Structure 1
């Protein structure tokens, strides 16, 4: 791509204007020219006002805001920005998607796109969070990470992580955007699996650093969505039998965590996990607690 053509970056925001402004400033320091689309997921009045004041220092051609009618979640919110990208062919071949609380090195975006240009049929890829791990899909456990390589450049993965991912226009046109049933968590794994099933290459670019400044969702919300969405992911890409085994494993995890607190993982809320299983079995997807 031409270094003079701005690269579109979609930033999904909700109620964290200072983090969002810091993310935009980080992106604007990139060695590539960028054009930022902020999708505001129905932030409260004070957050919207703070964001608007902070954006006054940017030219409107550099940063735009799309207002969502409600908190759509990460994937559905990102889809608003992706629709904007797909509608305008002059936006180039690649678009980046990120949450509102990342920090990127100045050369990260360029390194990601340069690495993708060396891979035939590259469709999706992500930057390097620095944990030396790679995302993989397990037919029973869904998305997980395992130790990866340390050589700079493209490393094949099953799906890109959502901290900073790049999506190719032609891949999106063929595969589609994020599945909005997920709301948040696992949507990038689903998209990666769909892309790979159509023959697109998916990778992680070592040496293209990105940092996620914080994880702000309450434990119960995270546990509920992770449980429900992992079951959906496993069913969609492995089948109902594998999803049933995953349900059994989840119930054993809940019982073990309740009876032996020392064995609990960092994110553990037994009631939330049971709600996640219940919502999956009843076909309740979208926002947590939502009926859709």
Structure 2
């Protein structure tokens, strides 16, 4: 007779959306596998933090959930690191930890499906769920992380990096390659971690049919465009070199000019001043949180 199943640890990074976070926790707790949840609160406003604590009080009493309070808004990657370090310190919690934002929505069997697929790949180090768009994340040496059309067969599909909607991270992989680089604050940290993992011999995959979605853009356009610009340059420079980063800068400057002259050519997330600030701070080596606005 087999013994009880070891609960799977899930780390959720939360900021100022207590109702969504509580709903996400409940959804995870009542899935097909037992889980334990670590909520990292990224210095939410006082009322939001109080609502979060009240909403999760019963689960905390039952030792199904714990809250780790960050001293400031650390961003997604550094906030996640608080929960991941706690997982690594608990050597009895299994081989895998999952990471998600506070608004992730999963199917009842999403985590179970991901773990089953990863079990068939002995060197699986990082993986993610399926957001339902039939795309796969790839890393271009000049342009960083992007998505391209992928397959539609259920199961493990190799990718360059896992998206952050619901990510699985293997204990041994984290112990070998480290946690998220905290210079990124938010955006591109998954790609950086994946590149380090791949160099160490780990495989990265997306599990088709293990559905996980979230609401998407949760910050102002200026902040998102600034972080994406600055962090993509950091990612490209760190892993491909300065020549590739300079090519990326030239491309970004062309986008800024074209988007300013012809607004109809702008991508969905576009702010010329944010992109210029991102380039400036990349050269200044100013990383971490975005500048105040």
TM-score, normalised via structure 2 length:
0.97
Q: Counterparts in 2 of 1:90-239, with a 5 A limit?
A: 90-239=92-241
Q: Counterparts in 2 of 1:247-258, with a 5 A limit?
A: 247-258=249-260
CA distance in 1, matches of 2:181, 2:208: 27
CA distance in 2, matches of 1:214, 1:244: 29
Asked if residue 4 in structure 1 is aligned to residue 5 in structure 2, the reply is yes
Any unmatched runs of 5+ in structure 2? none
CA distance in 1, matches of 2:11, 2:125: 17
Match of 1:242 in 2: 244
Match of 2:34 in 1: 33
Q: 1:215: how far off?
A: 2.1
Any unmatched runs of 5+ in structure 1? none
Q: Is the Cα contact below 8 Å between 1:3 and 1:32 reproduced in 2?
A: no
Q: Which moved more, 1:49-58 or 1:68-77?
A: 49-58
CA distance in 1, matches of 2:6, 2:35: 8
What secondary structure sits across from 2:196 in the alignment?
helix
Match of 2:53 in 1: 52
CA distance in 2, matches of 1:125, 1:194: 14
How many aligned residue pairs are there? 290
Q: 1:3 to 1:104 in 2, by over 3 A?
A: farther
CA distance in 2, matches of 1:237, 1:23: 35
What secondary structure sits across from 2:58 in the alignment?
coil
Q: 1:257 to 1:149 in 2, by over 3 A?
A: same
Q: Is the Cα contact below 8 Å between 2:11 and 2:39 reproduced in 1?
A: yes
Match of 1:77 in 2: 79
Q: Which moved more, 1:121-130 or 1:212-221?
A: 212-221
